[in-house]
A and B are shown apart, each in its own frame.
Chain A
Protein backbone atom coordinates (compact mmCIF):
# COMPACT_ATOMS: atom_id res chain seq x y z
CA UNK A 1 0.00 0.00 0.00
CA UNK A 2 1.05 3.58 -0.62
CA UNK A 3 2.94 5.32 2.19
CA UNK A 4 3.66 9.00 2.86
CA UNK A 5 6.72 9.58 5.02
CA UNK A 6 7.24 12.78 7.02
CA UNK A 7 10.05 13.54 9.46
CA UNK A 8 8.69 13.43 13.03
CA UNK A 9 10.09 16.82 13.95
CA UNK A 10 11.60 19.99 12.54
CA UNK A 11 13.02 22.86 14.58
CA UNK A 12 13.63 26.40 13.40
CA UNK A 13 14.49 29.78 14.91
CA UNK A 14 12.02 32.65 14.61
CA UNK A 15 12.43 34.60 11.39
CA UNK A 16 14.09 31.69 9.59
CA UNK A 17 12.71 29.31 6.98
CA UNK A 18 11.18 25.92 7.83
CA UNK A 19 10.89 23.19 5.23
CA UNK A 20 8.89 20.03 5.90
CA UNK A 21 9.00 17.14 3.46
CA UNK A 22 6.55 14.42 2.47
CA UNK A 23 8.06 11.47 0.62
CA UNK A 24 6.05 9.02 -1.49
CA UNK A 25 6.72 7.02 -4.62
CA UNK A 26 6.16 9.29 -7.63
CA UNK A 27 4.18 11.73 -5.47
CA UNK A 28 5.00 14.47 -7.96
CA UNK A 29 2.60 12.94 -10.49
CA UNK A 30 -0.41 14.05 -8.43
CA UNK A 31 -1.58 16.70 -6.01
CA UNK A 32 -0.53 17.01 -2.38
CA UNK A 33 -2.38 18.92 0.31
CA UNK A 34 -1.12 20.22 3.66
CA UNK A 35 -2.78 20.85 7.02
CA UNK A 36 -1.73 22.65 10.17
CA UNK A 37 -3.01 21.39 13.51
CA UNK A 38 -2.41 23.17 16.80
CA UNK A 39 -2.93 21.35 20.14
CA UNK A 40 -6.58 20.77 20.94
CA UNK A 41 -7.77 22.21 17.63
CA UNK A 42 -9.08 20.83 14.37
CA UNK A 43 -6.76 20.76 11.36
CA UNK A 44 -6.67 23.76 9.05
CA UNK A 45 -5.81 23.49 5.37
CA UNK A 46 -2.76 25.62 4.50
CA UNK A 47 -1.90 24.35 0.99
CA UNK A 48 -4.00 22.53 -1.62
CA UNK A 49 -3.16 21.21 -5.07
CA UNK A 50 0.52 21.11 -4.06
CA UNK A 51 1.10 24.88 -4.15
CA UNK A 52 -2.15 26.85 -3.81
CA UNK A 53 -3.01 28.76 -0.64
CA UNK A 54 -6.58 28.91 0.69
CA UNK A 55 -8.00 32.31 1.43
CA UNK A 56 -6.63 33.68 4.70
CA UNK A 57 -3.39 31.69 4.70
CA UNK A 58 -0.34 34.00 4.76
CA UNK A 59 1.93 34.20 1.72
CA UNK A 60 4.72 32.94 3.98
CA UNK A 61 3.31 29.44 3.38
CA UNK A 62 4.22 27.77 0.08
CA UNK A 63 4.27 24.27 -1.36
CA UNK A 64 6.14 22.32 -4.01
CA UNK A 65 5.88 18.82 -5.41
CA UNK A 66 8.23 16.95 -7.74
CA UNK A 67 9.53 13.45 -8.17
CA UNK A 68 9.21 11.52 -4.93
CA UNK A 69 9.11 14.53 -2.59
CA UNK A 70 6.59 17.22 -1.74
CA UNK A 71 7.50 20.07 0.56
CA UNK A 72 5.81 22.71 2.69
CA UNK A 73 7.92 25.81 3.26
CA UNK A 74 7.22 28.50 5.83
CA UNK A 75 9.23 31.71 5.43
CA UNK A 76 9.90 34.12 8.29
CA UNK A 77 8.66 31.61 10.84
CA UNK A 78 6.69 32.98 13.79
CA UNK A 79 5.99 31.49 17.20
CA UNK A 80 2.37 31.04 16.15
CA UNK A 81 3.41 28.62 13.41
CA UNK A 82 4.36 26.01 15.99
CA UNK A 83 2.06 23.07 15.24
CA UNK A 84 1.80 19.63 13.69
CA UNK A 85 1.76 19.59 9.89
CA UNK A 86 0.27 16.76 7.80
CA UNK A 87 0.55 16.03 4.10
CA UNK A 88 -2.30 14.22 2.32
CA UNK A 89 -3.05 12.69 -1.08
CA UNK A 90 -6.09 11.17 -2.79
CA UNK A 91 -5.81 7.85 -4.60
CA UNK A 92 -8.69 8.42 -7.00
CA UNK A 93 -8.33 4.95 -8.54
CA UNK A 94 -9.47 3.20 -5.37
CA UNK A 95 -11.09 6.23 -3.68
CA UNK A 96 -8.86 6.19 -0.63
CA UNK A 97 -7.38 9.21 1.09
CA UNK A 98 -4.02 9.02 2.86
CA UNK A 99 -2.21 11.20 5.40
CA UNK A 100 1.45 11.29 6.24
CA UNK A 101 2.41 10.65 9.84
CA UNK A 102 2.85 14.36 10.54
CA UNK A 103 5.75 16.65 11.43
CA UNK A 104 5.89 18.59 14.67
CA UNK A 105 7.30 22.06 13.98
CA UNK A 106 9.07 23.59 16.97
CA UNK A 107 9.95 27.29 16.95
CA UNK A 108 13.06 27.71 19.09
Chain B
Protein backbone atom coordinates (compact mmCIF):
# COMPACT_ATOMS: atom_id res chain seq x y z
CA UNK B 1 0.00 0.00 0.00
CA UNK B 2 1.46 3.36 -1.02
CA UNK B 3 1.84 5.89 1.77
CA UNK B 4 0.99 9.57 1.93
CA UNK B 5 2.93 11.48 -0.72
CA UNK B 6 4.08 15.06 -0.32
CA UNK B 7 6.06 17.48 -2.45
CA UNK B 8 8.33 19.28 -2.47
CA UNK B 9 10.43 17.78 0.33
CA UNK B 10 12.38 20.98 0.89
CA UNK B 11 11.72 24.62 0.07
CA UNK B 12 13.67 27.79 0.81
CA UNK B 13 12.00 31.13 0.16
CA UNK B 14 12.41 34.72 1.22
CA UNK B 15 9.90 36.40 3.52
CA UNK B 16 6.92 37.88 1.74
CA UNK B 17 7.16 35.30 -1.05
CA UNK B 18 4.48 32.67 -1.60
CA UNK B 19 4.79 28.89 -1.50
CA UNK B 20 2.54 25.90 -2.10
CA UNK B 21 2.71 22.33 -0.83
CA UNK B 22 1.01 19.29 -2.31
CA UNK B 23 -0.30 16.13 -0.66
CA UNK B 24 -1.74 12.89 -1.99
CA UNK B 25 -3.30 10.75 0.76
CA UNK B 26 -3.45 6.99 1.05
CA UNK B 27 -6.02 5.58 -1.36
CA UNK B 28 -9.44 5.40 0.25
CA UNK B 29 -8.62 7.77 3.11
CA UNK B 30 -11.38 10.38 3.08
CA UNK B 31 -9.93 12.42 5.93
CA UNK B 32 -6.86 14.58 5.29
CA UNK B 33 -4.94 16.73 7.73
CA UNK B 34 -2.29 19.41 7.43
CA UNK B 35 0.01 19.95 10.41
CA UNK B 36 2.75 22.44 11.15
CA UNK B 37 5.68 21.17 13.20
CA UNK B 38 8.12 23.76 14.46
CA UNK B 39 11.51 22.45 15.59
CA UNK B 40 11.31 21.03 19.10
CA UNK B 41 7.51 21.00 19.18
CA UNK B 42 4.80 18.50 18.42
CA UNK B 43 2.70 18.79 15.26
CA UNK B 44 -0.05 21.41 15.37
CA UNK B 45 -3.19 20.84 13.32
CA UNK B 46 -3.79 23.56 10.73
CA UNK B 47 -6.76 22.15 8.83
CA UNK B 48 -8.77 18.95 8.54
CA UNK B 49 -10.75 17.89 5.47
CA UNK B 50 -13.44 15.24 5.21
CA UNK B 51 -13.61 14.47 1.49
CA UNK B 52 -13.52 17.98 -0.01
CA UNK B 53 -15.18 19.75 2.93
CA UNK B 54 -13.40 21.53 5.78
CA UNK B 55 -14.04 19.97 9.20
CA UNK B 56 -11.73 22.17 11.28
CA UNK B 57 -9.56 25.13 10.35
CA UNK B 58 -9.63 26.91 13.70
CA UNK B 59 -5.83 27.06 13.94
CA UNK B 60 -5.18 28.06 10.35
CA UNK B 61 -3.86 31.67 10.05
CA UNK B 62 -6.36 32.58 7.41
CA UNK B 63 -4.82 35.94 6.60
CA UNK B 64 -1.89 34.15 4.96
CA UNK B 65 -2.62 30.43 4.79
CA UNK B 66 -5.12 28.71 2.52
CA UNK B 67 -5.84 25.11 1.69
CA UNK B 68 -8.06 23.25 -0.69
CA UNK B 69 -8.94 19.69 -1.50
CA UNK B 70 -10.67 19.66 -4.84
CA UNK B 71 -12.31 16.35 -5.83
CA UNK B 72 -11.71 15.01 -2.32
CA UNK B 73 -8.31 13.46 -3.02
CA UNK B 74 -5.19 15.64 -3.44
CA UNK B 75 -4.75 18.75 -1.36
CA UNK B 76 -2.65 21.89 -1.56
CA UNK B 77 -1.60 24.21 1.25
CA UNK B 78 -0.50 27.73 0.34
CA UNK B 79 1.25 30.45 2.29
CA UNK B 80 1.12 33.99 0.96
CA UNK B 81 3.01 36.03 2.06
CA UNK B 82 5.43 33.96 4.12
CA UNK B 83 6.91 35.17 7.40
CA UNK B 84 10.08 34.07 9.16
CA UNK B 85 8.01 32.28 11.83
CA UNK B 86 6.49 30.02 9.15
CA UNK B 87 9.77 28.09 9.00
CA UNK B 88 8.71 24.58 9.95
CA UNK B 89 7.97 21.13 8.62
CA UNK B 90 4.51 20.87 7.06
CA UNK B 91 3.10 17.41 7.49
CA UNK B 92 0.16 15.91 5.66
CA UNK B 93 -1.67 12.96 7.21
CA UNK B 94 -4.67 10.89 6.24
CA UNK B 95 -7.06 8.40 7.77
CA UNK B 96 -10.26 6.52 7.07
CA UNK B 97 -13.30 8.46 8.29
CA UNK B 98 -14.19 7.58 11.86
CA UNK B 99 -10.88 5.82 12.35
CA UNK B 100 -8.51 7.60 14.62
CA UNK B 101 -5.18 6.30 13.42
CA UNK B 102 -3.53 8.86 11.17
CA UNK B 103 -0.69 8.11 8.78
CA UNK B 104 1.81 10.83 8.00
CA UNK B 105 3.62 11.75 4.82
CA UNK B 106 7.36 12.58 4.78
CA UNK B 107 6.71 16.29 5.22
CA UNK B 108 7.95 19.46 3.53
CA UNK B 109 10.68 21.36 5.32
CA UNK B 110 10.15 25.10 4.73
CA UNK B 111 12.84 27.65 5.48
CA UNK B 112 11.89 31.32 5.25
CA UNK B 113 14.87 33.70 5.12
Tell whether A pairs with B.
Answer: no
B→A interface (CB under 8 Å):
none
Which residues does A use to contact B, with CB under 8 Å?
Answer: none
